[in-house]
Structure 1
Amino acid sequence: MKTTVRIGVVLGLAAVASSLVVACDSASSPGIAWTSCQGPGVDSRQECATISVPLDYTHPNDGERVAVAVSRIRSAHPERRRGVLLLVPGGPGGSGLNLPSTAGQGLPGPVREEYDLVGFDPRGVGASTAANCHIAREYLATERLRPWPDADGGITANVELERRVADACVRDGGALVRSIGTRTEARDIDRIRAALGEERIAAWGTSYGTYVLSVYATLFGEHTDRILLDSSDDPDPDQVERTWLGNYAVGVEDRFPDFARWAAADGNPDRVAQTPEAVRSEFLTLAAHLDREPLPWPGAELAILSGNGLRQIMLDGLYKDERFPYVAQVINAARRGSTLPAARPTPPEQAAQASTAVMVATLCNDVAWPTSVDEYASAVAADRARYPLTAGMPRGVAPCAFWPYPVAPRTVVDSSGPSNVLLLQNLRDPLTPYSGALRLRQAFGDRARMVAVDGGGHGVYPSPVACANDAVERFLRDGTRPDRDLTC
């Protein structure tokens, strides 16, 4: 439902981690030959390997193969080890190979002692077999890939760009792009489980990773141990990513008041206005002005700050409170005509190409999208009026409107299977809103419990709220869930 995201995907874009280079032989486990890992931010204990999986699961034994890169940090106390905790990245298009060294180290010591922490790069990204649609560099900017409408609210430029992206993936993506999707990733995870020699695995997924694990728990419930889902969205089998994109409008409206209160606070050096209502008004006025007269912005992806560029900065800034000052600094500099802050760095082109190819393939292979341009134009106009902060983007055209391939079978998440799922959710999540997470909770029935946190941002754990962290630790250590859904 981590994490920068491209196009309007849902879940969060997840940051693309560097591919790791493999060196020196180490230990082995059933089906996997482990080697040491090298790369920025890699814990010296982390080991790396690759496993071979079918390119096409309709021909699992006699067709082409692709490589999936995996990593692990083993329990420092084997006598306490209860199994594997798989860390599933967000995206689609996020890398997870480094998660044992990064997010995994945020887990409490007793949890890390009881599990081998295992990460992986989904097929198409990072150190796994790479996908590439060879999309023109100027189309890779997030502001363009997300379906922001034209300055006048029309969608002509949006339609043309997304058609070009779809054409590039059809022309250059090959069989790998046609194979990518959530059900395929779930099957790849089960191949990882089998290669590790585990009958069951525990797993922690964030953002889009929560849907991957929901599908895994539906297709392979008998192989699940404890499933932790952090920041989820609606699993409607006939909509999935289409609903997630639409839910940006809801999530931003839920979350923006947190920013507005902060930006109106007395004593704030980056104060935007005197009241939260005035902050909202100032933002909308500035975005409309920049629609008409963009500002030069040397060093930015598009070298300008447009209205949609400001909206994209706002949306990304709502992910975490720590990003609020940057959003306010851009707003204040643009209003005053002073020097804009340095633009945020962009990923290397190779990583951006792989991430974008996987994102496009997942959105388009998972579910069918409308093909009528007039239908999109009407939806954008209505959404733009109802949710002005996002200006109609959540109902815009995705490359999937021009996708020629058949979609995967629908996956119905339901209450059949083991009762071993715990959902974590902020009440004011800009990307995967609470209302969408409630739909996943409802779909799981008694298989799940939810811990909701009265907070904002995308991604709950670790939380500043102790009762949420305690619930996670109890769940991962002894399987205990709250007797009923809990709000912290």
Structure 2
Amino acid sequence: MDHKRRRSRALALTVVIVLAGLLAATPAVADRDAASEVVWGACPKDVTAAAPDLDVQCGTVRVPLDYAEPDGARINLMVSRLASDKPKKRRGVLLLNPGGPGGSALTMPATLVDLGIPSKVLDSYDLIGMDTRGFGRSAPIDCKFTVGQDYIGNIPPYAVDDAAVLAQAKIAKDVADQCAANDVDGRMAHITTANTARDLDRIRAALGEKKASFFGLSYGSALGAAYASMFPDTTDRILIDSNLGDTALDPAGIRRYALGMEQTFPDFAKWAAARHSSYGLGRTAREVRQTYFTLAQRLDEKPAYGLDGRQFRSVAFGSLFGERRYGQLAQLWEGIKDEDQPAVERLAAKLQTPSPSAEGASYSNSWSVFLTVTCNDVKWPSDVQTYQRNVAADRHRYPLFGAAAANILPCAFWRFGQSEPQVPINDEGPSNILIMQNRRDPVTPLLGGELFREKFPNRSRLVSVDGSGHGVYVFGRNACALNVGTEWLADGVMPKKDVTCRHD
């Protein structure tokens, strides 16, 4: 490498490190002014519903709404704790995030126990869940979504042509305006991945820990990557699972949904073909794929039983998250094919998010946080023509779902804009990031794990699993992945090289 190239690379690395330092600078006072300890008490009943006999406790941590004004307004974050009962084996705390953005980790300690997380991990850590800022019981925000309005979710709907993109653009703008109109407390501009990472470090300090470990899935992988990048000196063991590939969910990340569906759909198609005599969806995987297109086109032309082609495709996408959902998806297709109205209405209501019969506003809060974080973290294209071009390209490239994943979101018209620069990856730090990834994942395809491995060349190892669905460690079924993850979290054994886990 010549001197100019070395100088250029060094300058680029310096810029990244300096920017990471600036992003982390404001919370550097966390240890100084954070509460000395969290006052623990009983949790709301829903927090421990998965394992009601566990001694899970809850408390709050007070943090700045705006870290650029640390003496300004504050918000309370609710946290939960399942404490280790083995003080001699206890290493510290394991901060948890299940994804979203807009998913609660308050229930995650109980959920992990219910899923069978190894006792070695429970002995090693206090499991710490939380409602992230803006969600649930942590200063919630709400765009006031209602069941029945034109907006059918944060996964963009399938667009059959340019006119459909234009129609969705109007809906997206109305939603952006709706969110801005409901920002009554001025919180939305401060709901970002960077601020949530800062919150994690405040929680660590409030718990009296010099370092904290982290386990996050899906969007939680972006949060974990941001946390490890901003706070390399106070993060301990990091496990990121089902990976976005960057510290934010940007347009490229959402467009990868289409790649993920193309890679994962064959697993369902093979499953359904093996059960053709039961469901009648096709004797081969190719025939099942054709059934998908046939039913989608039928519903594009003539929606039936409260289901149109856009919703049909979204339900299929969501049902690829795990094999446990395959049976209901097959039932739905069978009902559409046979024009069984009661069956279709029942299954469509069950599989759509939210259900048309949904009660309460929890989904509205969740959707609101997803949009706010996603739109605040990066700058989104604002011209409709960009989305029309991307939809046309991805409809051809990824026919199952490309014209959905590339479609326009309210982020194109977001009133708040990008809140601050996206957290840059910081590869200067300890080798403490274990990346876990199924090879076939509808929402975070293998490419996301590979991207993180490339961006953390010195700090990470990649565990790729010959598996299907969303979620690997504990949430998956692969013995190899469970063992490697447990050895890292509990024993501190990082693989010497990348690991490929075969299908069990």
Confirm or deny a common fold (TM above 0.5): yes
1:478 and 2:488 correspond: no
Preserved contact between residue 414 and residue 445 of structure 1 (Cα < 8 Å): no
Name the counterpart of 2:82: 73
Name the counterpart of 2:20: none
Q: Distance in 2 between matches of 1:97 and 1:366?
A: 23
Q: Distance in 2 between matches of 1:146 and 1:459?
A: 19
State TM-score, norm by structure 1: 0.88
Preserved contact between residue 94 and residue 215 of structure 2 (Cα < 8 Å): yes
Alignment counterpart, residue 215 of structure 1, candidates 214, 223, 226: 226
Closer, same or farther: CA 152–243 of 1 in aligned 2, 3 Å: closer
Question: What amino acid maps onto 1:89 in structure 2?
Answer: P
Name the counterpart of 2:92: 83
Alignment counterpart, residue 418 of structure 1, candidates 426, 430, 438: 430
Question: What amino acid maps onto 2:441 in structure 1?
Answer: D
Preserved contact between residue 149 and residue 158 of structure 1 (Cα < 8 Å): no
Alignment counterpart, residue 453 of structure 1, candidates 462, 465, 478: 465
Q: Distance in 2 between matches of 1:321 and 1:244?
A: 23
How many Å apart are 1:151 and its aligned residue? Answer: 4.7
Query: Which structure 2 residues correspond to residues 5-404 of structure 1 after superposition, within 5 A?
Result: 30-40=36-46, 41=49, 43=52, 44-60=54-70, 62-105=71-114, 106-139=116-149, 143-152=152-161, 154-174=164-184, 175-235=186-246, 240-266=249-275, 269-296=278-305, 304-338=306-340, 339-340=343-344, 341-342=346-347, 343-344=349-350, 346=355, 348-404=359-415
Closer, same or farther: CA 283–36 of 1 in aligned 2, 3 Å: same
Q: Distance in 1 between matches of 2:277 and 2:253?
A: 34
Unaligned runs of 5+ residues in structure 1 are: 1-28, 297-303
Q: Distance in 2 between matches of 1:329 and 1:274?
A: 16
Name the counterpart of 1:439: 451
- What per-residue deviation string (whole Å, max 9, x for no partner) do you get for residues 22-51 of structure 1? xxxxxxx94210001131315340000111
Preserved contact between residue 159 and residue 407 of structure 2 (Cα < 8 Å): no
Q: Distance in 2 between matches of 1:406 and 1:282?
A: 42
Closer, same or farther: CA 74–271 of 1 in aligned 2, 3 Å: farther
Preserved contact between residue 139 and residue 145 of structure 1 (Cα < 8 Å): no
Preserved contact between residue 371 and residue 401 of structure 1 (Cα < 8 Å): yes
RMSD of aligned Cα (Å): 1.8
Q: Secondary structure at the match of 1:482?
A: coil
State TM-score, norm by structure 2: 0.86
How many Å apart are 1:410 and its aligned residue? Answer: 2.4
Q: Distance in 1 between matches of 2:367 and 2:131?
A: 14
Higher share of residues assigned helix:
2
Q: Secondary structure at the match of 1:79?
A: coil
Preserved contact between residue 449 and residue 462 of structure 2 (Cα < 8 Å): no
Question: Which segments of structure 1 move beyond 3 Å, counting only runs of 4 or more?
Answer: 149-153, 345-349
Preserved contact between residue 159 and residue 404 of structure 2 (Cα < 8 Å): no
Closer, same or farther: CA 471–441 of 1 in aligned 2, 3 Å: same
Q: Distance in 2 between matches of 1:46 and 1:420?
A: 28
Q: Distance in 1 between matches of 2:494 and 2:277?
A: 40
Give the fraction of aligned pairs with identical amino acids, expressed as a percent: 39
Preserved contact between residue 89 and residue 209 of structure 1 (Cα < 8 Å): yes
